Amino acid sequence: MTSSNDSITRWDRGRAEIDQLIQQARLTRVQPNRDLAKSFIAQARLHLAAAATLRTIDPAGAFTLAYDAARLSLAATLVNQGLRPRGEGAHAVLLEAVLAQLEPPKQKEIREFDWMRRLRNDTQYPDVDRPTARVDDVDQAIPAAEAILERAAKVIDIMPPY
């Protein structure tokens, strides 16, 4: 980060990776929008509350809500900067872009999104050879999504537009 008078003017961590994702058209520039980022965080909190309520009634639905809370949280960090993933694999690009900019020090909490993304795909597009989400998955996904959400909520207040 480059700072001047205690305000961040540029977020340098992961800049080469983000520039490459933009060049590959896997990320696109949009208008930076802190209000939208904060609304994503608020929506993610609602999803987590709903997931906790539904965990035993509808584990697949609850897991999808927890996953979506994590996805919205990652998306909040990008839209706050004026970035949005594009095309096929956009959810994987979310993870790649946020890891590039926030890792280290909080690798584990953000990396939890990867197993959630894979299980969400298996749950949304079932196959007899792959399991779908169960209650124990929901019980792991909710705290994982909460950690991602809390990290995103902290950084959107300090990350400047890209």
Cβ count within 10 A of residue 129? 6
Give me the pLDDT at residue 75, please: 97
Mean pLDDT of 128-154: 93
Average pLDDT, the chain: 89
- The H or E element that residue 82 is part of is none
Contact 144, 109 (CB under 8 A): yes
Give me the pLDDT at residue 56, please: 95
107 - beta bridge partners?
Answer: none
The more confident residue out of 107 and 133 is 133
Residue 3 pLDDT > 60: no
pLDDT in tens, 34-43: 999 999 999 9
Give me the pLDDT at residue 4, please: 40
Query: Per the structure block, which two tokens stand in for 132?
Result: 């779908």
pLDDT in tens, 101-127: 887 665 678 888 989 998 888 888 878
Mean pLDDT of 75-98: 93
Give me the pLDDT at residue 130, please: 79
**What gap in Å lies between CA 98 and CA 137, rounded to an integer?**
23
* Close Cβ partners of 45 (under 8 Å, ≥ 6 residues apart): 69, 149
Give me the pLDDT at residue 102, please: 84
Residue given tokens 């961040």 in the structure block: 8
Could you give all domains of the chain from N- to C-terminal order, each with its CATH number? 12-155 (1.20.120.330)
**What gap in Å lies between CA 152 and CA 43, rounded to an integer?**
13
